[in-house]
């Protein structure tokens, strides 16, 4: 899986003035597969919890969003350990959608990068809705305007 050490700069989403949203996750024994690594489905669930927390910062409770796409790059097995961080960077804000990259890391190794697109949904009409100004503000605190190069792609190129 190559060198998955955490890099800084565009590849890690740490640009001047931009702070990723950070969600800490305790790794439990139930998260492990038969290889004693965290199951990939559990990592995706952690990312979904992280996005719900990020959206909740806008209005205090997670608003209605639906994931329309996840693309995962699993870069290293995530062993049983105390805690991991999910660092989420927003890469695009649309009228009704938000896209970003979440990195699961222990601070030195990136275990996975998951790119997700979420669409705001009106729960009564069951239709897409525009993002509110509060949501835009919350997501905007973690947004970068330059294209984000996934770490795996940066490692292949460099």
pLDDT tens-digit map of 94-145: 999 999 999 999 988 999 999 999 999 998 899 999 998 888 888 988 998 7
pLDDT at 22: 93
The residue count of the chain comes to 158
What is the H or E stretch that residue 55 is in?
A: helix 40-59
* CATH number of the domain that residue 48 is part of: 3.10.129.10
Return left, alpha or beta for 126; rule: phi > 0 is left, psi -120 to 50 is alpha, else beta: left
pLDDT at residue number 2: 42
Do residues 84 and 104 make contact, with C-beta atoms less than 8 angstroms apart?
yes
Q: How many domains does the chain have?
A: 1
Could you tell me if residue 49 is inside a domain? yes
Q: What is the pLDDT of residues 64-100, one digit of tens each?
A: 899 999 999 999 988 887 789 999 999 999 999 999 9
Residue 138, domain member (yes or no): yes
Which tokens sit at 145?
């305007």
For residue 96, give the nearest of 125, 115, 121 by alpha carbon. 121
**Do the domain assignments include residue 52?**
yes
55 lies in some domain: yes
Q: Taking the model in full, what pTM does it have?
A: 0.77
Is residue 19 situated within a structural domain? yes
| Residue 3, domain member (yes or no) | no
User: Which residues form the domain of 42?
Assistant: 10-157
CA distance 27 to 38: 8
């Amino acid at each position: 899986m190559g060198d998955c050490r955490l890099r800084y700069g565009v590849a890690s989403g740490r640009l001047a003035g931009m702070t990723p949203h950070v969600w800490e996750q305790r790794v439990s024994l139930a998260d492990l597969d038969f290889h004693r690594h965290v199951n990939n489905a559990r990592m995706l669930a952690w990312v979904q919890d992280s996005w719900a927390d990020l959206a909740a910062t806008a209005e205090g409770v997670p608003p209605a969003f639906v994931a329309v796409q996840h693309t995962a790059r699993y870069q290293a097995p995530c062993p049983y350990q105390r805690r991991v961080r999910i660092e989420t960077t927003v890469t695009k804000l649309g009228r009704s959608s938000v896209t970003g990259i979440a990195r699961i890391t222990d601070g030195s190794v990136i275990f996975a990068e998951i790119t997700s697109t979420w669409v705001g949904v009106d729960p009564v009409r069951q239709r897409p809705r525009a993002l509110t100004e509060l949501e835009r503000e919350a997501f905007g605190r973690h947004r970068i305007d330059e294209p984000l190069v996934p770490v795996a792609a940066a490692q292949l190129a460099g």
